[in-house]
Amino acid sequence: MAQQLEAAILAGDLSSGSRLENELELAARYKLSRPTVRQAIQHLVDKGLLVRRRGVGTQVVQSQVRRPLELSSLYDDLAAAGRGPRTRVLELGPVPAEGEAAEQLGVAPGTEVLRLRRLRLTGGEPLALMTNHLPAGLLEVTAADLEEHGLYETLRAAGINLRIAHQTIGARAATAAEARLLDERRGAPLLTMTRTAYDDKGAAVEYGAHVYRADRYAFSHTLVGK
């Protein structure tokens, strides 16, 4: 029963906010005892797929996105997982390079670079706030391009071959502006990721600083012993 319900939730057949039948109705439908049904539901509550609310019953919650640590964009990963990514472009234009962006792109402070700020959504809810800096003149891109495609897909379509990236993952509290965009409370925990990507000639082509809702997002990777 738990496996069938989990599969339905992950496939979107049971959408976020959907209410389950009560234990008696589920027991009759699955031909199981009430204690078994209760155990199956608790298993999915523990996995974060269901929540019990007094006076409401048992509801489906938005499942967490688990992203592999690979040289791919969030848009591509969500699309491959059937999560229906949507993008709202908040900023797109030239700015003087400052601080970490200038250092990671290997340009002098004040050098003009292209800055992109986007809000990534899935399931109708905000998931990540992404800020990227690219060297000036590297890419001709419009807001419509970024709403329809991931940044890495757009770079590759322009003939830019991404080869390697250095990435750092961390966590911090949400600022008031981030909380407003991500539909979180101020000070809520956010996952952070910074990444500098290089092309096949060794040139830095993108520096990204992203924040993710910790309740909806996780990085995953496999460790292999020597």
Read off the pLDDT of residues 67-124 as tens digits, 9 standing for 90 and up. Answer: 544 556 565 566 555 556 789 999 999 999 999 999 999 999 999 999 999 998 887 7
Which are the contacts of 38, defined by CB distance < 8 A and separation ≥ 6? 23
Q: Which two tokens stand for residue 110?
A: 């004040």
**What confidence tier does 186 reach under pLDDT thresholds 50, 70, 90?**
very high
Share of the chain above pLDDT 70, in %: 83
Per-residue pLDDT, 163: 87
Which are the contacts of 3, defined by CB distance < 8 A and separation ≥ 6? none
* Of 129, 134, 139, 130, the residue nearest 97 (C-alpha): 134
Per-residue pLDDT, 82: 55
Q: 21 with 28: CB under 8 angstroms? A: no
Does the model's pTM come out above 0.85? no
Per-residue pLDDT, 44: 83
Per-residue pLDDT, 51: 78
| Per-residue DSSP letter, 19 | B
Crossing angle of helices 34-46/2-11, nearest 10°?
40
Instruction: Tell which wins on pLDDT, 173 or 5.
Output: 173
Per-residue pLDDT, 2: 87
Q: Are strands 125-135 and 112-122 parallel, antiparallel or unpaired?
A: antiparallel
Q: Is the per-residue pLDDT at 226 higher than 70? A: no
Per-residue pLDDT, 57: 83
Q: Is the per-residue pLDDT at 173 higher than 90? A: yes
Residue 119 pairs with which residues in a beta bridge?
88, 129
**What confidence tier does 3 reach under pLDDT thresholds 50, 70, 90?**
confident
Q: Work out the end-to-end distance of the chain between its first and last CA atoms, rounded to an integer number of angstroms.
A: 39
Per-residue pLDDT, 174: 95
Per-residue pLDDT of 20-68, as tens digits, reads 888 888 888 888 898 899 999 888 877 767 877 777 788 886 555 555 4
User: Residue 64 corresponds to which amino acid?
Assistant: Q
Per-residue pLDDT, 53: 73
Helix, strand, coil % (nearest 5) of the chain?
A: 30, 35, 35
**Burial of residue 77 (number of CB atoms within 10 Å: 0-12, 13-18, 19+):** middle
Average pLDDT of 126-149? 93
Count Cβ atoms below 10 Å from residue 128 Cβ, excluding itself.
Answer: 26
**What confidence tier does 137 reach under pLDDT thresholds 50, 70, 90?**
very high
Which are the contacts of 145, defined by CB distance < 8 A and separation ≥ 6? 154
